[in-house]
């Protein structure tokens, strides 16, 4: 758990927001898109909706 939080912080991401978002989305995301949930690729769901 500490490495997940540390990686999020190193990527200037709020660890709590990232982890909550990832846990809510991981069951529904296709396997070939799991890389989108990694801290260095992650964008919050709100950011994705604004970009669309």
* Cα gap 1→31, rounded to integer Å: 22
| Predicted model pTM | 0.77
Quickly state the pLDDT bin for 51 (edges 50, 70, 90). low
**pLDDT tens for each residue of 12-36:** 999 999 999 999 999 999 999 999 9
Quickly state the pLDDT bin for 43 (edges 50, 70, 90). confident
Q: What are the residue boundaries of the structural domains of the chain, listed by start? A: 2-51
pLDDT for the residue numbered 40: 92
**48 to 2, 6, 43, 51: CA distances (angstroms):** 27, 23, 7, 5
């Amino acid at each position: 758990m500490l490495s997940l939080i540390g990686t999020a912080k190193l990527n200037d991401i709020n660890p709590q927001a990232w982890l909550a978002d990832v846990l809510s989305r991981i069951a529904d995301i296709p396997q070939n898109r799991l890389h989108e949930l990694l801290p260095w690729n992650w964008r919050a769901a709100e950011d994705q909706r604004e970009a669309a």
